[in-house]
Chains A and B, each alone.
Chain A
């Protein structure tokens, strides 16, 4: 029988395309978001990392925790089945892949820091690697080619080749399901990449790094990929360069660890491993970005989780109350918050 009459109100056929695995649309602006592997970081940058954008991580001294963020990014990519491209000048990308964190789903999904992922799972993803000492000979490391550091030129070309060959930019029609390319670049701008921007105030190739980021963002915007880069920003003294690096990236966060500094002994910071700064958030196809409600953030690396939370300070009491140590104050605050019927045992408690 004739089913449809010729009415103008016809339901549009649903798109046959299945959603890309591992991504979800953002609630704020409809962008396709993917997870960085750290749930608290996802929450702070607006739900996740948008596909086609660049996340810049300003490293801490001795690079203890920024490398951990990169590992979370890689582990999340493996679990979601995304393709990976890892570039490094210090450790071989194979090592970074082999020490990827294992994923465990016992009490909710988390990544276990103490164990590494099984090799079958590691090899199940398509992983490309770029190791700078293999690609660039030692004597050409600091050389420039078309106004950019030679190592950066080769890295850009490698990324472009992977995007084009695997079809992430839509040039070759993908018959199977579309996939995302996750790019992780370790310690860009450090001296091992051949860049002296971190060494002196007026480096010779001051803008190699900025040109690289500019070109990279162009590649990212025209393909289904997302990139995480760690930069030793504490070494870059030139304010013009660091300002441009921040502006050329989309999301910029900074880590400041208490490792081997005087702050380690400060009692306020004893629960945390370092401070966390959100330097820039992008405004993608919208007028305002989703800003976190506080700037006082601190991070802590536990075995199961990398938490980023508001830095808690004990309550500041007036002068009329006798001065007690911060320990007592914190305890009394806990007692207060537990309700008026809470019984205080031993320590001073406040009576209203």
Chain B
């Protein structure tokens, strides 16, 4: 999904990358820029937060040669005279050149803080409307820490794609040697109004290539939902499981009031075969006793 944002070709598409202090987005911005230049588009960068030299470091020679950078960093208010200030240039429209272009704003936060959200949103909307004739696309970097979340939502909704970068909540895997991941939440608003939202792990490496790694995790199980679970079975005063010897011993145990067949047979044998020993009963019938030796008790079955 992040690839789609970088490869967007629709005229009038406004793509925004929102980063934060923990997770920077300028490397992703540079990777999109270099990819656009290598595709053959004319790219114009308005460098407001970092100097042009710092912006191009990390980019290839070929890309550097074909990139057009407007310096708004060294003299933002034009005290040195001469060129119009970057604010005026953004507002009044001296940025568009002939032919389809990609306009890169580094950063949109700088403009939002100075011009105000109303002017910036209206100007972006104006650029989108004019893009039907000029074919202009806009790519901007936004710092989420600098603005209230409501403002981010409003600006994000006026854009056609918003990629929010947050830190990877998983603990870093030592020994792999790969740079840290970031979690990218991409919201793309299609022309029909359909919104698609995906969450992925991305990495931008030294050569400014974006690697989308890991499965796309669902929006419900986002980074905020990953709480380290405490094992409730630890530190108990009783056993939850039985080992093999304990189980065997338990099965071999004879219960006190349970009469197993072996014991029953031995008792009976002792009773039946112990005529010469064991307990015997001698009975002397009384006078009133009805003793009939030919009439055994046949309702007793032993």
Measuring CB to CB, which residues of chain A are less than 8 angstroms from any residue of chain B? 61-65, 67, 90, 92, 133, 138-139, 141-142, 190-192, 194, 196, 198-200, 235, 237, 259-260, 262, 265
With CB as the reference atom, state the residue of chain B lying closest to A234. Answer: B153
CA distance in complex: A90, B189 (Å)? 16
- A199 near B151 with CB under 8 A, answer yes
With CB as the reference atom, state the residue of chain A lying closest to B123. Answer: A138
Most buried by A among B116, B151, B195: B195
A61, A63, A194, A262: the one contacting B220 at CB < 8 Å is: A262
The interface residues of chain B lying within 8 Å CB-to-CB of A192 are: 121-122, 125, 158
Report, as a range, how many residues of chain B touch the other chain.
20 to 34
- B118 near A141 with CB under 8 A, answer yes
Whole-angstrom distance between the Cβ of A280 and the nearest chain B Cβ: 25
- B195 near A198 with CB under 8 A, answer no
Whole-angstrom distance between the Cβ of A133 and the nearest chain B Cβ: 7
- B91 near A138 with CB under 8 A, answer yes
- A260 near B187 with CB under 8 A, answer yes
Interface of B is mostly: helix
Whole-angstrom distance between the Cβ of B132 and the nearest chain A Cβ: 11
Q: A133-B126, A142-B118, A191-B117 are in contact. Are A259 and B194 (CB under 8 A)?
A: yes
CA distance in complex: A198, B158 (Å)? 13
Measuring CB to CB, which residues of chain B are less than 8 angstroms from any residue of chain A? 91, 116-119, 121-123, 125-126, 129, 148, 150-151, 153-154, 157-158, 187, 189, 193-197, 218-220
With CB as the reference atom, state the residue of chain A lying closest to B124. Answer: A192
The interface residues of chain B lying within 8 Å CB-to-CB of A90 are: 125
CA distance in complex: A64, B191 (Å)? 10
Whole-angstrom distance between the Cβ of B146 and the nearest chain A Cβ: 14
- A62 near B195 with CB under 8 A, answer yes
CA distance in complex: A67, B193 (Å)? 10
With CB as the reference atom, state the residue of chain A lying closest to B128. Answer: A90
The interface residues of chain B lying within 8 Å CB-to-CB of A133 are: 122, 125-126
Whole-angstrom distance between the Cβ of A135 and the nearest chain B Cβ: 13
- A141 near B119 with CB under 8 A, answer yes
The interface residues of chain B lying within 8 Å CB-to-CB of A198 are: 150, 154
The interface residues of chain B lying within 8 Å CB-to-CB of A199 are: 117, 148, 150-151, 154
A/B interface sample: 23 pairs, CB < 8 A: A62-B195, A65-B193, A90-B125, A133-B122, A133-B126, A138-B119, A138-B123, A138-B126, A139-B119, A142-B119, A191-B117, A191-B118, A191-B158, A192-B121, A192-B158, A198-B154, A199-B154, A200-B148, A200-B150, A235-B150, A259-B194, A260-B196, A262-B219
CA distance in complex: A48, B148 (Å)? 41
- A64 near B151 with CB under 8 A, answer no
With CB as the reference atom, state the residue of chain A lying closest to B197. Answer: A260
- A196 near B153 with CB under 8 A, answer no
Whole-angstrom distance between the Cβ of A62 and the nearest chain B Cβ: 5
The interface residues of chain A lying within 8 Å CB-to-CB of B193 are: 62-65, 67, 259
The interface residues of chain B lying within 8 Å CB-to-CB of A262 are: 219-220
B118, B153, B157: the one contacting A194 at CB < 8 Å is: B118
CA distance in complex: A352, B91 (Å)? 74
Whole-angstrom distance between the Cβ of A137 and the nearest chain B Cβ: 10
- A260 near B153 with CB under 8 A, answer no
With CB as the reference atom, state the residue of chain A lying closest to B196. Answer: A260
- Top-4 shortest CB links A-B: A64-B193, A260-B195, A260-B197, A142-B118
The interface residues of chain B lying within 8 Å CB-to-CB of A92 are: 129
- B154 near A142 with CB under 8 A, answer no
- B150 near A141 with CB under 8 A, answer no
CA distance in complex: A200, B151 (Å)? 8
With CB as the reference atom, state the residue of chain B lying closest to A190. Answer: B154
CA distance in complex: A200, B218 (Å)? 30
10 more contacts with CB within 8 A, not counting A133-B126, A138-B123, A142-B119, are A64-B194, A65-B193, A133-B122, A191-B121, A191-B122, A192-B121, A198-B150, A198-B154, A235-B150, A235-B153
- B122 near A141 with CB under 8 A, answer yes
CA distance in complex: A133, B187 (Å)? 27
With CB as the reference atom, state the residue of chain A lying closest to B118. Answer: A142
The interface residues of chain A lying within 8 Å CB-to-CB of B121 are: 191-192
Whole-angstrom distance between the Cβ of A64 and the nearest chain B Cβ: 4
A61, A237, A260, A265: the one contacting B150 at CB < 8 Å is: A237
The interface residues of chain B lying within 8 Å CB-to-CB of A237 are: 150
CA distance in complex: A237, B151 (Å)? 12
The interface residues of chain A lying within 8 Å CB-to-CB of B158 are: 191-192
Whole-angstrom distance between the Cβ of A177 and the nearest chain B Cβ: 38
The interface residues of chain A lying within 8 Å CB-to-CB of B148 are: 199-200
CA distance in complex: A138, B197 (Å)? 33
The interface residues of chain A lying within 8 Å CB-to-CB of B151 are: 199-200
- B150 near A142 with CB under 8 A, answer no
With CB as the reference atom, state the residue of chain B lying closest to A139. Answer: B119
- B195 near A191 with CB under 8 A, answer no
Whole-angstrom distance between the Cβ of A245 and the nearest chain B Cβ: 17
Q: A62-B189, A199-B154, A200-B148 are in contact. Are A138 and B195 (CB under 8 A)?
A: no
Whole-angstrom distance between the Cβ of A274 and the nearest chain B Cβ: 12
The interface residues of chain B lying within 8 Å CB-to-CB of A64 are: 193-195
The interface residues of chain A lying within 8 Å CB-to-CB of B187 are: 260
The interface residues of chain B lying within 8 Å CB-to-CB of A139 are: 119
